[in-house]
Amino acid sequence: MRIATSEALYRRACQLMPAGVNSPVRAFRAVGGTPIFYRQGQGSRFTDVDGNTFVDYVMSWGPLILGHAHPEVVEAVKKAAERGLSFGAPCEAEVALAEKVVASYPGCELVRFVSSGTEAVMAAIRVARGFTGRPRILKFEGCYHGHSDSLLVKAGSGLATFGTPSSGGVPAALAELTVVVPLDDEQALEEAFARYGSELACAIIEPIPANAGLLLQRREFLARLADLCRASGALLIFDEVISGFRVARGGAAQVFGITPDLATFGKVIGGGMPVGAFGGRRDIMEQVAPLGSVYQAGTLSGNPVAMAAGLATLQVLEREAGWEKLERLGQELELALLPILSGRGQLVRLGSIFWLYLDTASPAPRRFDAIAPHAAERYRALHRALLERGVYLAPSAYEVGFLSLAHTSDDLAFTAQALQQALAEVYW
Ligand code: PMP
């Protein structure tokens, strides 16, 4: 693997940006070495600036459900761009994408587009507080909901990666309003609701927690959460930024048959462009300005180019029965990797989301503090050995992998072979 050009770029970048990056996990701190600079992606693979090619399982952290540079998405973006990059005014594409979201997602009657998952969640929390008039929110340990102040408390993603589960710069007075409970623990949940229930504006959860590994939840746990919310008058928010339009047309809400009051989206609905959205029950969403008193706005919200990318992505997914295909591909990945991992680790998977967990304890962790610390140590060495063999996994043991419709049986066989060789080289 050649690395000289990435190294030179990284040296330049480090003079200019904190750790040379614009989002922490990209810096490769958790796995060591120099971040790989992408030059070009096509389908399931990308080529870096040194000319190495990799099978990509990061896929921009989830948005690229059709693979890199899908021709229909690129064409839709080009056409939209030719008509104008941004209007800051209503456009047809946002109506079409809103129709898709409302038609697809359980209980979603009104939706508003923003430009990132963080924004979507931040706004949804404000709406919940505005609607209920209550101050506190409840979240789960290890769930990541973007980087707005109230949610950087015991969070996942980069915070899990770097072992600093809460962020500096968040005033204690604000953090105190965030009640944090472990996942998969009905008793802790009941205690939290008994103590704070009447003050809770909402409970927010990744129904498929995918930011501290993949901590698959029992349906009964989610159902209990929904019941406690209903009984206490707190709104239930599903953060479907990763799972929305990925695990099913109707996201985790459809998979579990549980309808939240509000939901947040991002990633797939933007098809690789900066898009987020929040939506839900009409009476709640009518609190949003200018109908109601909860202010929320955005210069680039509903951007015509971004809307076109999202729309094209959802159209291809629907036409090609994408969710069924992704499930079959996930099963194939499992079949290919499980025998190789045997005795060394496991593959936790739901549809096209997977987590390589390098520990054999059964069942796989369902809560953050059940993740064995040595799994991250093992991952560090394995990550490097896989990179050397042309397989690009997320540069952190706490991040999941993503399959896209562009991944092929050949890619999976290539990955299995690389894993076999890499495991032979790495000891624990
Ligand atoms: N919620 C979840 C569940 C996420 O996984 C993420 C990002 N990975 C976010 C919110 C924040 O989204 P963004 O990075 O687009 O701000």
pLDDT for the residue numbered 47: 98
For the CA of 274, the nearest atom of ligand 1: 15
Nearest CA to ligand 1 atom 13: 117
Q: For residues 378 and 123, what is the distance between their CA atoms, to the nearest angstrom?
A: 38
3-class secondary-structure state, position 428: coil
Sign of CA dihedral 84, 272, 208, 178: negative
Q: Is 139 a catalytic residue?
A: no
CA 50-54-59 angle, to 5 degrees, is 115
If DSSP codes are grouped into helix, strand and coil, which group holds residue 360? coil
Q: Is the pLDDT of residue 100 over 80?
A: yes
Which of the listed residues 26, 119, 125, 145 should we mutate to test ligand 1's pocket, taking the one with most ligand atoms within 8 A of CB?
A: 145
Q: Which of 121, 149, 247, 402 is the best mutation target for the ligand 1 pocket, counting ligand atoms within 8 Å of the beta carbon and taking the most?
A: 121
Phi-psi region of 267 (alpha: psi -120 to 50; beta: other; left: phi over 0): left
Provide mean pLDDT across the span 261-275: 98
Q: How far apart are CA 308 and CA 352, in angstroms?
A: 24
Backbone angles phi, psi at 29, to 5 degrees: -60, -35
d(CA 88, CA 299): 6
Tell me the sheet residues that pair with 353.
350, 402
SS3 47: strand
What are residue 277's phi and psi, to 5 degrees? -160, 150
Distance, CA of 43 to CA of 274 (rounded, Å)? 20
* Beta-ladder partners of 265: 277
Spatial strand order in the sheet of 38-42: 38-42, 45-48, 53-56, 391-392
Choose the catalytic residue: 57, 105, 144, 379.
Answer: 144
Whether the pLDDT of residue 219 is over 90: the answer is: yes
Among the atoms of ligand 1, which is closest to the Cα of residue 240? 3
Q: What percent of the chain has pLDDT over 90?
A: 95
Domains and CATH numbers, the chain: 4-69+320-425 (3.90.1150.10), 71-318 (3.40.640.10)
Task: Please provide the DSSP assignment of 21-73 as one string.
Answer: -SSGGGG-TTT-SPPPPEEEEEBTEEEETTS-EEEESSGGGTT-TT-BT-HHH
Among candidate residues 100, 139, 154, 267, the one labeled active-site is: 267
CA distance linking residue 64 with residue 45, whole number of Å = 12
Q: How confident is the model at residue 281 (pLDDT cuts 50, 70, 90)?
A: very high
- Cα 193 to ligand 1 centre (Å): 26
Largest CA distance in the chain: 61
Ligand 1 centroid–CA 241 distance in Å is 6
pLDDT tens for 32-65 read 999 999 999 999 999 999 999 999 999 999 999 9
111: which strand partners?
279
For the CA of 119, the nearest atom of ligand 1:
16
**Torsion of the alpha carbons at 295, 300, 303 and 309, rounded to the nearest 10:** -110
Q: Which of 314, 305, 297 is nearest to 91 (CA)?
A: 305
What is the number of the ligand 1 atom nearest to the C-alpha of 62?
8
Mean pLDDT of 413-424: 98
pLDDT at position 154 is: 85
Residue 157 alpha carbon, nearest atom of ligand 1: 8
Q: What are phi and psi of 113, to 5 degrees?
A: -90, 145
> ipTM greater than 0.90, yes or no?
yes
Mean of pLDDT values over 389-405: 98
**Cα gap 138→164, rounded to integer Å:** 19
Is residue 100 part of the annotated active site? The answer reads no
169-195: per-residue pLDDT in tens? 999 889 999 999 999 999 999 999 999
- Ligand 1 center to residue 342 CA distance, Å? 32
Q: From ligand 1's centre to the CA of 413, what distance in Å?
A: 30
Q: The pTM is what?
A: 0.98
Question: Taking a C-beta distance cutoff of 8 angstroms, is the pair 241, 121 a contact?
Answer: yes
Element (H, E) at 238: strand 235-239
Q: Pocket around ligand 1: residues whose beta carbon is below 6 Å from it?
A: 61, 116-118, 121, 144-146, 157, 206, 211, 239, 241-242, 266, 276
Token code pair at residue 102: 């409302």
Q: Of 403, 108, 96, which is closest to residue 238 (Cα–Cα)? A: 108
**Catalytic one of 48, 56, 239, 411:** 239
